[in-house]
Amino acid sequence: MTSINVHGLTVAYHRKPVLSDVTFELPKGVIIGILGPNGAGKTTLMKAILGLVQRSTGEVSVLGEAYSPKSNKVGYVPQRGTVDWDFPTDALDVVRMGRYRHTGWFRLPSKKDTVMALDCLKQVGMEGFAGRQISQLSGGQQQRVFLARALAQDTEVYFMDEPFAGVDAATEKSIIALLTELKDQGKTVLVVHHDLQTVTDYFDWTLLLNRRVIACGPTEEVFTTENLRSTYGGKLAFLDKIGSR
């Protein structure tokens, strides 16, 4: 069975097309990289699948069902933006928000939810920060808290938009280990990322995107010079470095 099916997806902002007739199918239980230059529509694609973009046409399904934001089947780590909330919210509160689909918005989290949220903080190496105000954490630490929040959602599919942005090399390694663990549990992880080397080394599938789908399939098949040229256009200097075929 496939994890995500997208057929004929077209998105426009202010009547300017951003994604045109995007069609692809992704398998289950793999890590998939979405790659493309800035402005290629990678974030828009994730948001459109999640029903967060108003002006879109086409068909989208997640795990065989039309996706609705309320179904909450996808744990989502949005693109990083520094959190500067001026109301008191600690890291544990943020992670427990991931449990609301289990508790409902207007119920207090149970002890089990708290235990699970603490475990998710531990998985991202942030167990010592549970009581810290989110606005006082660094960008990389906030990123890890949002990753923990997605883990707390305990879904079959995860979308992560640049999860390595602003984290150091050691944290990046531990996040990759975490993604691999999710995959080993049969979960599907879709990651917007820009480092071709990481994608070649760790991601099973790749979707090359530049406003339309350039290629989608197992990473070793997709990473051809021709496909990468079509995706990145003239910005080819870096291709030599990754030893593409």
> Least distance from C-beta 214 to ligand ADP, angstroms?
13
Nearer to ligand ADP, 18 or 49 (CB): 18
* Cα 185 to Cα 29: distance, rounded to the nearest angstrom: 8
> Least distance from C-beta 242 to ligand ADP, angstroms?
19
> Least distance from C-beta 18 to ligand ADP, angstroms?
4
Largest CA distance in the chain: 55
Nearer to ligand ADP, 12 or 97 (CB): 12
Nearer to ligand ADP, 175 or 208 (CB): 208
Give 130's strand partners.
none
- Is the Cα dihedral 88, 178, 3, 116 positive or negative? negative
Nearer to ligand ADP, 35 or 118 (CB): 35
> Least distance from C-beta 20 to ligand ADP, angstroms?
12
Could you tell me the two tokens for 219?
């990473």
Site of interaction with ligand ADP (CB under 6 A): 13, 18, 36, 38-44
Nearer to ligand ADP, 15 or 245 (CB): 15
> Least distance from C-beta 135 to ligand ADP, angstroms?
24
> Least distance from C-beta 17 to ligand ADP, angstroms?
9
> Least distance from C-beta 166 to ligand ADP, angstroms?
16
Nearer to ligand ADP, 13 or 85 (CB): 13
* Cα 245 to Cα 235: distance, rounded to the nearest angstrom: 17
Nearer to ligand ADP, 3 or 44 (CB): 44
* Cα 245 to Cα 234: distance, rounded to the nearest angstrom: 17
